[in-house]
Amino acid sequence: MPDSRDSADVMIVGGGSAGAVLAARLSEASSRTVLLVEAGPAYGLDKIPETVLGAGHVADPQHDWGYTSRGNYQQQKAQRPEQLREGVLANLRSLQLDQVPVVNLRRHPEAGVPFDEQVAAMVAMRDDEGLIGAIGLSNVTTEEYARARAITEVACVQNAYNLADRSDQALLDACTADEVPYVPFFPLGSAFQPGKPVLTAPAVVTTAMRLGVTTAQVALAWLLRQSPSLLLIPGTSSLTHLRENLAAAKLELDPEAMDAIG
């Protein structure tokens, strides 16, 4: 199958407004192409400087809608169809767009809103109103992914996955088979899972030392080896870390590294 990452020189950027500014600076310095900047109110999207938006460095902005801001960075889950629509309208205003190219529906099942109603609301915003160009899914199960695909085309899936937490392997495999881009969040681990460290895992540390690279580069390179459909969004506020993350795309992990990591 074709590699969905082939069309851009750079394919790993994230981190909302900070990531967008850093991506813009890196693009200006190297003439590279930024494929994806993930953003939304939870990431400070409304604080992206106008100069960044106007320069066109934020390409194919992808938004998660599962939150509404209530000041002081407190968030409430937005799951009902009318809340999803309000969120998209806020995105359009902040990005100064007539249509958001890709919108991720971030699923929070504990909210008690039927999944099919959410998907129907997204389809209506795409087909009836033209507010969004494509529909992505986030935090969904394999069964929900299949249900959504039976209703509409799915542009991408964003779920938790990294070398220490491979519980979403079945959905990654399904996306690979369907040639649907899979975007793992927490690619470098999560403070929510202290028992599943990524950057301090012995095999990762040993491999990084042997190859003369950072542990983050090893973890990201390992992810890119898992599927040609996989795209990365490691957020950072450091230009140095952003450059290192981008360099991971060219890091070739040898058989010894792959065997050690498993």
Per-residue pLDDT reduced to its tens digit, 178-202: 999 999 989 999 888 888 999 999 9
| C-alpha span between 162 and 198 (Å, rounded) | 8
User: If you count DSSP H runs as helices and E runs as strands, how many of each does the chain have, helices first?
Assistant: 10, 8
Averaged pLDDT, 87-112 = 85
Residues β-bridged to residue 12: 232
Place of tokens 């998209």: 88
Place of tokens 């992810």: 223
The runs of H, that is alpha helices, within the chain are 16-30, 50-55, 81-95, 115-127, 142-151, 169-178, 202-211, 215-224, 239-247, 255-261
Q: State the pLDDT at residue 11.
A: 37
Sign of CA dihedral 108, 13, 97, 175: negative
77: left (phi over 0), alpha (psi -120 to 50) or beta: beta
**Percent of the chain at pLDDT above 90?**
49
Averaged pLDDT, 239-256 = 89
- Joined together, the tokens standing for residue 71 give 């000041």
> Count of CB atoms within 10 A of residue 112's CB?
8
Query: 77 falls in which pLDDT band (50, 70, 90)?
Result: low
Task: Please tell me the least confidently modeled range out of 21-30, 91-100, 117-126, 242-251.
Answer: 21-30
User: Domains (ranges, CATH) in the chain?
Assistant: 16-193+227-251 (3.20.20.100)
Averaged pLDDT, 213-233 = 93
Cα 207–chain centre separation: 26
| C-alpha span between 60 and 188 (Å, rounded) | 23
* Residues 6 or more apart in contact with residue 211 via CB below 8 angstroms: 218, 251, 253, 257
Q: Which residue has the higher pLDDT, 117 or 232?
A: 117
Nearest C-alpha neighbor of 180 from the set 208, 159, 204, 211: 159
- Joined together, the tokens standing for residue 138 give 């986030």
Place of tokens 């205003």: 93
Query: 23 falls in which pLDDT band (50, 70, 90)?
Result: very low
| C-alpha span between 55 and 132 (Å, rounded) | 21
Query: What SS3 class is residue 47?
Result: helix
- What DSSP character marks residue 156? E
